[in-house]
Amino acid sequence: MTTALYPGSFDPVTNGHIDIIRRSAAIFDRLIVAVAVNVEKTALFSEQERLQMIVEATGEIANVEVDSFDGLLVKYARKHGVTAIVKGLRAISDFEFELQMASMNRKLAPDIETLFMMTANEYSFLSSSIVREIAAYGACVRGLVPPGVEEHLRNRLGLFK
Ligand code: COA
């Protein structure tokens, strides 16, 4: 059985992430979507909220599990029998940092591969922070995030219709 891990801060999960989740889940037997709780970013949503939004959005994909982790990614990956870490690449600007992380993860755990998947063109401009920003200014985020996330943003920010 092949187990892949898709890690990220998911604050909140966007349709760009969901696209990567769907396509990865179609390749691997099992996909763990793991919310990083201790990254150096100030989160809008709590760990539980971020988990809940991913669970809501991926509920119909049978081989997807949602979890959170703290600490080293490769340590979590080893503990859960992960053979591949999946990352999405949106633009050339993602490449340098992703290369650095993949290389370091490979140094730490040579038995775990990092695989890159190109983000769908229609979501290549998306990021969680840009979604948070436009939502905070009252712009509609329909089509950019799953409907449940739209609702969470609306409730949290109370700004757009
Ligand atoms: N669609 C839309 N947005 C996407 C996307 C996609 N397909 N893929 C990435 N993004 C965006 C995210 O929304 C996020 O946007 P933001 O900066 O506005 O929040 C941005 O790209 C970065 O993604 P993020 O989820 O924060 O991931 P990351 O590439 O920075 O890596 C971890 C995060 C958790 C995987 C990484 O920090 C980690 O492994 N931490 C654990 C500690 C560790 O092991 N460190 C050593 C690593 S070598």
* Structure-token pair, residue 46: 């709590």
**Closest residue by CA, ligand 1 atom 2:** 16
**Closest residue by CA, ligand 1 atom 42:** 72
CA distance 9 to 5: 13
128 is an active site residue: yes
Q: Using one digit for the tens of pLDDT, what is the confidence trace for 124-135?
A: 999 999 999 999
- What strand order describes the sheet that includes 84-89? 64-69, 30-36, 3-8, 84-89, 113-118
Does 97 or 92 have the greater pLDDT score? 97
Which pLDDT belongs to residue 159? 55
Which pLDDT belongs to residue 41? 83
Q: Using one digit for the tens of pLDDT, what is the confidence trace for 11-58?
A: 999 999 999 999 999 999 999 999 999 778 889 999 999 999 999 999
17 is an active site residue: yes
Closest among 5, 11, 18 to 127, alpha carbons compared: 11
pLDDT value at 161 more than 70: no
State mean pLDDT over 96-120: 97
What spacing in Å lies between the alpha carbon of 140 and ligand 1's midpoint? 24
Peptide bond into 12 cis (omega under 30): yes
Query: What is this structure's pTM?
Result: 0.95
pLDDT value at 91 more than 90: no
Does 159 or 71 have the greater pLDDT score? 71
Which pLDDT belongs to residue 56? 97
* Structure-token pair, residue 56: 């809501």
**Closest residue by CA, ligand 1 atom 33:** 8
State mean pLDDT over 154-160: 75
152 is an active site residue: no
For every residue of 20-79, DSSP letters joined together read HHHHHHTTSSEEEEEEESSSSS--SS-HHHHHHHHHHHHTT-TTEEEEEE-S-HHHHHHH
| Chain centroid offset of residue 78 CA | 19
pLDDT value at 105 more than 60: yes
Beta bridge pairs of residue 161: none
Which pLDDT belongs to residue 29? 98
* Contact between 88 and 116 (Cβ < 8 Å): yes
